[in-house]
Amino acid sequence: MKPATEAEVVECLAAASGPLRIVGGGTRGIGGTRGEVLETGGLAGISLYEPGALTLVAGAGTPLAEVEAVLARAGQRLAFEVPDFRALLGRRGVSTLGGVVAANASGPRRVQAGACRDALIGVRFVDGAGLVVKNGGRVMKNVTGLDLVKLMAGSWGTLGVLTEVAFKLLPVPEASVTLRLPGLDDARAVAALAAALGTPYEVTGAAHWPGQGTYLRLEGFSGSVDYRAGRLAEVLAGFGAAERVDGVARWQAIRDVTAFAGCAGDVWRLSVKPSDAPGLVARSGAQAVLYDWGGGLVWLLMPEGADLRAALGGFSGHATLVRAAAETHARLATFQPEAPPVAAITAALRARFDPRGILNPGLM
Amino acid sequence: MQMPVPNPAILARKAQIVRRLQSVLPADAVVHDPADTRAYECDALVAYRCAPLCAVLPRTTAEVSAVLRICHEEGVPVVPRGAGTSLAGGALPTADCVLLGVARMNGLLEVDYPNRFVRVQAGRTNLSVTGAVEAQGFFYAPDPSSQLACAIAGNIAMNSGGAHCLKYGVTTNNLLGVTLVQMDGTVLEIGGGFLDAPGLDLLGVICGSEGQLGVVTEATLRILPKPEGARPVLIGFDANEVAGQCVSDIIRSGVLPVAIEFMDRPCIEATEAFAHAGYPDCEALLIVEVEGSPAEIDEQLARIIAVARRHNPVEIRESRSEAESARIWLGRKSAFGAMGNINDYLCLDGVIPVSDLGLVLRRIGEMSREYGLDVANVFHAGDGNLHPLILYDANKPGDLELCEEFGAAILKLCVEVGGCLTGEHGVGVEKRDLMGVQFSDVDMEAQLRLKDVFDPRWLMNPAKVFPLVLTAGRRAA
């Protein structure tokens, strides 16, 4: 099914007699679900773009690339730096805004500019009972009523089918500088990232790629970026001499985790307190790792079928199985199992918004 | 404004309920004498008052859980209260409720500089969070103007903003985790010292839920390094529309100020008479503040001033020193006091698309003449969050009602142009009956279902946020 309007989405849901698999462009879905495919790519088009108000409203099926091109022409962007996981996950297809929202997909700039859910200011969706719901709107500040906008971000299509999304935008900065510290071990690297993020110099990327280097990004007006890069290098002198490197391709590779594309092994994503990360990695049994978000986000390449959560034992944070054989997804659970009282809330929310249990069953 | 009829069966059982609460709390933590419960009869929306059945002042999550379990068993509604600074009546009691005040839960539980967060008990005041970390060069970004008094619990309930949220976001963008106690006493731990919560974004749902879902007892908050410095420029214009256009153009220019504040002529005149800040004689003024090193500030202000010059400003006053910055901010910061000095006022909180500033201010001016009530505008222009202050005389019969009617008309206008009823104050009881202007019944039903999940018996913070007619069936069940 590929509805072209919101009304057709309602019809699709009303007519559904069994499970539906909700798909945007099919570029970033993880885990296993079943059912007839409902594609949202037909709900395309930018309905409002006001550069002077930093706002964009578009159909959930609008291609991300189209939106990025329109924004770039006006010197603006989605600040949360949407990752492209097609190489990592071995997918083709066209990423859509709805898919970005459903996955709350956020890249390296998340440390400074916030996640997708922070930039999302409004949604329209059709819930599992076929009701059309709007929440939020098109203005930057809005506390009217309960916040279903945040609830929909990162809900992986389990509560409703997104039909329209609204974003807050930011200007593209004039200049960007990337600093590289070579030769740090994981613990020293995370300490260096913490030191950098603890300065007022507004670091917009803080990553450690073992064997490649420890990377920091600064963005803004050119004079300001030069000044801050100089000051940051001074602050980090104890970690070695920071060198300026060409950053564009490097940050794209970090954002998209291209280092693990085409490699044998499972891919896990770990979200933890940055200072806990090196110790957890040491006992993970990972073949390779990549630290982003100052160390708070760790990508791990694990032996096929290995259980990262079991290897780590109890820890504060959560682990998501991003790429593995279907059998492994089924055996280990894609998402971190929740504590019983939280799991009860999650189950009740799904039952309320999808009473027939037809939206991406088995996922989350 | 209508409130539900208090449940006589609960009123009749007061002594028994108080005894049960006393069995799980220290003696001084249960307030039940009518002379004492009056202290909790209202928040900062003072037009509406009602003393609670009793008030409890727990000190721990375990005590909150014990209190809520008892109230759940007894079927008694609970009204949570932070510091009582809500302008929307978010903590207005009902006569048959237990008011749960978190003011004694003000501990600082953990400070983690390498991972840039603090964990606090939720009764702690907003400003004292920054106070605990500023010696190390950090701050907590959301800064509502009541920050000296208001509690983190209330900030989370209302998803509070502040003057600097154009750059730093509001509470929801700076909240990493909460401990929430549900109405039946269940304790939920959501999020923590990491950036994204697992599973559904329950943190985002709880933030801004106005005490509808449970009582937040602890919070993990993101702290940020303090900027090297900040300086404002004051720009005067001869028309509101021109000032509004200038705001849009500044935003488009690529500069990201931390604050863009707007004042119109009535507000400028009132603050001049009150605070003598030396503001120019003009129709509208902007205060635009930027942050960074001295050189970075110079560069950003130069760009802003270049944009402003295209709009033929009456005056441009760039701060060169701390003293000049303080003078520029003096009038803005005393604006509410100045208006209160003239008359009683109702402070609105609607939001509009920045591009419609000129149109909306002109319409508000026209409505002011129709209603015969003066309006002063002072607000966060960068994000379109208006704060029209409607002046009225509380001693003149019918004036409050007229003022409320005018306020509702302004909020309807905000929604008509694509905005919303409230940007940072919350709905509370104040805007409860206007929700239908912004949302369809189906939109609201989806929100009610969210509450059903957390509070199936509908006992948390009754008669707030949603029109009473919409919730009657659920409350009675």
3-state SS record for B158-187: HCCCCCCHHHHCCHHHCEEEEEEECCCCCE
Task: Kindly state the helix (H) or strand (E) to which residue B81 belongs, with its residue range.
Answer: strand B78-81
Tell me which chain B residues have a C-beta less than 8 angstroms from the C-beta of A126: none
Residue A97 pLDDT class (50, 70, 90 cuts):
very high
Q: For A300-322, what is the mean pLDDT?
A: 97
B170/A336 Cα distance (integer angstroms) = 28
Residue B268 pLDDT class (50, 70, 90 cuts):
very high
Tell me which chain B residues have a C-beta less than 8 angstroms from the C-beta of A149: 204
Give how far B60 is from chain A: nearest CA, Å: 19
The DSSP secondary-structure symbol of B439 reads: S
Q: Residues, chain A, total? A: 364
Q: Residue B5: CB partners within 8 Å, gap ≥ 6?
A: none
For testing contact with chain A, the best of B196, B224, B383, B441 (most A CBs within 10 A): B196
pLDDT of residue B333: 85
Q: Cβ atoms within 10 A of the Cβ of B90, count? A: 30
What type of residue is B114?
P
Residue B341 pLDDT class (50, 70, 90 cuts):
confident
* C-alpha dist (Å) from residue A361 to A333, B41, B391: 13, 48, 55
Q: How many CA atoms lie within 13 A of B166 on its CB side?
A: 26
pLDDT of residue A177: 98
pLDDT digits (tens, 9 = 90+) for B207-253: 999 999 999 999 999 999 999 999 999 999 999 989 999 999 999 89
A198/A273 Cα distance (integer angstroms) = 15
Contact of A124 with chain B, judged by CB distance below 8 Å, is answered with: no
For testing contact with chain A, the best of B115, B348, B454 (most A CBs within 10 A): B115
Tell me which chain B residues have a C-beta less than 8 angstroms from the C-beta of A174: 254
DSSP one-letter string for B311-361: T--SEEEE--SHHHHHHHHHHHHTHHHHHHHHSEEEE---B--GGGHHHHH
Tell me which chain B residues have a C-beta less than 8 angstroms from the C-beta of A137: 418-420, 438
Could you say which of B116, B196, B421 has the minimum Cβ distance to residue A197?
B116
B436/A336 Cα distance (integer angstroms) = 39
pLDDT digits (tens, 9 = 90+) for B398-418: 999 999 999 999 999 999 999
pLDDT of residue A101: 98
Checking if the pLDDT of A96 tops 80, the result is yes
pLDDT of residue A72: 97
* C-alpha dist (Å) from residue B471 to A181, A200, B140, B462: 59, 48, 36, 10
Q: Do A150 and B194 touch (CB under 8 A)?
A: no
Can you name the CATH fold of A175-256?
Answer: Alpha-Beta Plaits (3.30.70)
Residues A320-355 as b or e (16 or more Cβ within 10 Å = b): bbbbbeeebbeebbbbbebeeebeebbebbbebbbe
Q: A86 phi and psi, to 5 degrees? A: -60, -45
Checking if the pLDDT of B477 tops 80, the result is no
Q: What is the set of domains in chain B, with CATH numbers?
A: 8-102 (3.30.43.10), 108-225 (3.30.465.10), 230-336 (3.30.70.3450), 343-416 (3.30.70.2740)
Task: Kindly state the helix (H) or strand (E) to which residue A132 belongs, with its residue range.
Answer: strand A132-136
Residue A49 pLDDT class (50, 70, 90 cuts):
very high
Q: Do A141 and B424 touch (CB under 8 A)?
A: yes
Give how far A282 is from chain B: nearest CA, Å: 19
Could you say which of B195, B251, B255 has the minimum Cβ distance to residue A54?
B251
**8 A C-beta contact, residue B373 and residue B392:** yes
Tell me which chain B residues have a C-beta less than 8 angstroms from the C-beta of A52: 248-249, 251-252, 354-355
Domain boundaries, chain A: 6-171, 175-256, 258-332
Give how far B368 is from chain A: nearest CA, Å: 25
The answer to whether A6-171 and A258-332 have equal CATH topology is no
What type of residue is A180?
R
pLDDT of residue B162: 87
Q: Do B254 and A75 touch (CB under 8 A)?
A: yes
Give how far B266 is from chain A: nearest CA, Å: 25
Q: Nearest chain B Cα to A57, which residue?
A: B418
For testing contact with chain B, the best of A106, A131, A143, A199 (most B CBs within 10 A): A143
The DSSP secondary-structure symbol of B268 reads: H
Q: Residue B35: CB partners within 8 Å, gap ≥ 6?
A: none
Burial (Cβ within 10 Å: 0-12, 13-18, ≥19) of residue B106:
middle
DSSP one-letter string for A181-200: E-S--HHHHHHHHHHHHTST
For testing contact with chain B, the best of A120, A124, A142, A219 (most B CBs within 10 A): A142
Token digits of residue A71: 């924004």
Q: Nearest chain A Cα to B300, which residue?
A: A221
B35/A359 Cα distance (integer angstroms) = 55
Residue B339 pLDDT class (50, 70, 90 cuts):
confident
Tell me which chain A residues have a C-beta less than 8 angstroms from the C-beta of B450: 146, 148, 151, 349, 352
pLDDT digits (tens, 9 = 90+) for A134-153: 999 999 999 999 999 999 99
Q: Do B254 and A174 touch (CB under 8 A)?
A: yes
Could you say which of B193, B419, B431 has the minimum Cβ distance to residue A316?
B193
Could you say which of A50, A154, A172 has the minimum Cβ distance to residue B201?
A154
pLDDT digits (tens, 9 = 90+) for A199-237: 999 999 999 999 999 999 999 999 999 999 999 999 999
pLDDT of residue B160: 96
Can you name the CATH fold of A6-171?
Answer: 3.30.465
**8 A C-beta contact, residue A178 and residue A216:** yes
Q: Residue B402: CB partners within 8 Å, gap ≥ 6?
A: B371, B372, B373, B392
Cα radius of gyration rounded to whole Å, chain A: 21
| Average pLDDT of chain A to the nearest whole number | 96
A301/A319 Cα distance (integer angstroms) = 13
Contact of A140 with chain B, judged by CB distance below 8 Å, is answered with: yes
Tell me which chain A residues have a C-beta less than 8 angstroms from the C-beta of B383: 139-141
Can you name the CATH fold of A258-332?
Answer: Alpha-Beta Plaits (3.30.70)
Q: Are strands B388-392 and A203-209 parallel, antiparallel or unpaired?
A: unpaired
Checking if the pLDDT of A113 tops 80, the result is yes
In A, residues 190-209, which contact B (CB 8 Å cutoff)?
A: 191, 194, 197-200
Residue A364 pLDDT class (50, 70, 90 cuts):
confident
B164/B256 Cα distance (integer angstroms) = 11
**8 A C-beta contact, residue B82 and residue B152:** yes
> What is residue B202's three-state secondary structure?
helix
Q: Do A141 and B384 touch (CB under 8 A)?
A: yes
